[in-house]
Structure 1
């Protein structure tokens, strides 16, 4: 890759092992640096892959000169970072990130955060659990905020791992062993076994206030200036796709979905999302294409304004 050109297409590997085709159009503008930006990659990816998160980091830095962009590495090496996206307890990952951010003096006055695929809900957990330094804007790009009930497609380098994960999830997502050692089980949301989910989900049921209402979580999330959620309209990876806008399947069946606004979570305002929407803090964006597929033009027009 010899730099970005008008006619160049680069292939990015992002999120749940999905190929993202980025149509690169150069951005020429003078933009002052704003708050630092923290990125968290998705499953099957790493912090620094030059064809994925590395390219995203470079693209943002070129569009917003002077901005400090940090792409999180979960582990000591890129290999560990990728593996931990499958096998490291999510709560431990969030604790690790909270510690890292709290020790970074560059973030002391606040920062923006952008999570890709599962990195979206992981960064939301950071916002809820770790208010210092303060997260100002959270951008979730294809995040699964109500979890998933299926892993329909996971092509590319991670396909064999995903086949194995499917078997484990289908055979017992809420067993102690699977919950503790499989990341995707920790946001597996079975609408046919809601009681099991609420009782045994180690991560998602906690951050979504499914058992009890943690007022600290609620207060901290509402400290966000903006919570931006991007949904991919032709997504064939995330099931159901409504989870990218905090919707999900109605409980007791696995076909009919409901929006965030129709959910108990919203109606009882267990997480403060209704109050945030009333305050104009929730932003719902849609992108044509499959999971994590967008053009740089779309990114420049729809995402960059939240970072400036």
Structure 2
């Protein structure tokens, strides 16, 4: 039976509030320079998932009242405000009451991870992070969807003033700018990443909530020209006081001190590391079908 017809039939025999499905719903969150619903980006992903997973409900998060606001949110709405919006959308959607799987793309991936930590109801079951910058970024080699001049201006602001209060309030990318040459300033002044990574104090609630994930899948793009360093997509980052050598997740204080519960998730076989050749968010429909769809079906 075609999905739309089946869905209409279900609504005919039950109220929306009572709607249940054996298929776990899916929530999508786009990245910088994108929106919830462009047909060539997340709109395409949504269509593929609906074709491959019979009867699945897919919600692509739209921040703000329209696509223009949603697009701007990727640059100019603080993640804390976006997370409150997303939490409200998810907690008031009756089709997500019993939990959902989540797919985050680029910065949308770390936002969904923060959502799991801050907004545990309804529960997130599996989180798939596509190129998420979980240890932040230090560098902006390219910024898609912006003009060369705008990109250069953003790069200069981040390089010289990322931790100024006005920049932290204005520019989303500043909130996960992680300067390994000045860790103290990063930990003290980062208004988003330092908090969700428990860099200042250990928020046990964040740990407990992240432990509720059934799986945390991280996809790293091996030829990424946008995210710097690429290893942040697997929670790796530069060693302190330099920007050349990388400290992998399992050698980091974040893991050894288990400040987020990642070591425990790993011990419970809940961490999944996937790598793919290609630039940032470059993957084929076939790769998605082979590597991600089976995870979402289970």
TM-score, normalised relative to structure 1: 0.88
Q: What CA distance in whole angstroms lies between the structure 1 residues aligned with 2:106 and 2:145?
A: 16
**Residue 225 of structure 2 corresponds to residue 241 of structure 1:** no
Structure 1 residue 157 displacement after superposition: 4.6
**Residue 107 of structure 2 corresponds to residue 107 of structure 1:** no
Change (3 A) 1:180 1:47: same
Q: What CA distance in whole angstroms lies between the structure 1 residues aligned with 2:59 and 2:201?
A: 34
Larger CA deviation: 101-110 vs 219-228: 101-110
**Residue 126 of structure 2 corresponds to residue 131 of structure 1:** no
Which residue matches 1:119? 108
TM-score, normalised relative to structure 2: 0.91
Deviations 1:54-88 (A, max 9, x none): 11111111111210001110111101100110000
Change (3 A) 1:184 1:302: same
**Residue 71 of structure 2 corresponds to residue 86 of structure 1:** no
**Residue 29 of structure 2 corresponds to residue 40 of structure 1:** yes
Deviations 1:264-295 (A, max 9, x none): 00000010000000000000001111110011
Q: How does 1:287-306 map to 2 (within 5 A)?
A: 287-306=276-295
The answer (yes or no) to whether the contact 1:142–1:229 under 8 Å persists in 2 is yes
**Residue 191 of structure 2 corresponds to residue 202 of structure 1:** yes
The answer (yes or no) to whether the contact 1:144–1:238 under 8 Å persists in 2 is yes
CA RMSD of aligned residues (A): 1.1
Q: What CA distance in whole angstroms lies between the structure 2 residues aligned with 1:109 and 1:254?
A: 43
Which residue matches 1:152? 141
Q: What CA distance in whole angstroms lies between the structure 2 residues aligned with 1:302 and 1:276?
A: 20
**Residue 239 of structure 2 corresponds to residue 250 of structure 1:** yes
Structure 1 residue 160 displacement after superposition: 4.0
Match of 1:76 among 53, 57, 65: 65
More helix as a share of residues:
2
Moved over 3 A (4+): 155-161
Q: Specify which structure has the bigger relative contact order, considering alpha-carbon pairs within 8 angstroms and separated by 6 or more residues.
A: 1
Match of 2:176 among 156, 163, 187: 187
Deviations 1:103-128 (A, max 9, x none): 11111111000100000000000000
Structure 1 residue 135 displacement after superposition: 0.3
The answer (yes or no) to whether the contact 1:89–1:182 under 8 Å persists in 2 is yes
Q: What CA distance in whole angstroms lies between the structure 2 residues aligned with 1:62 and 1:178?
A: 42
- SS of aligned partner of 1:307: helix
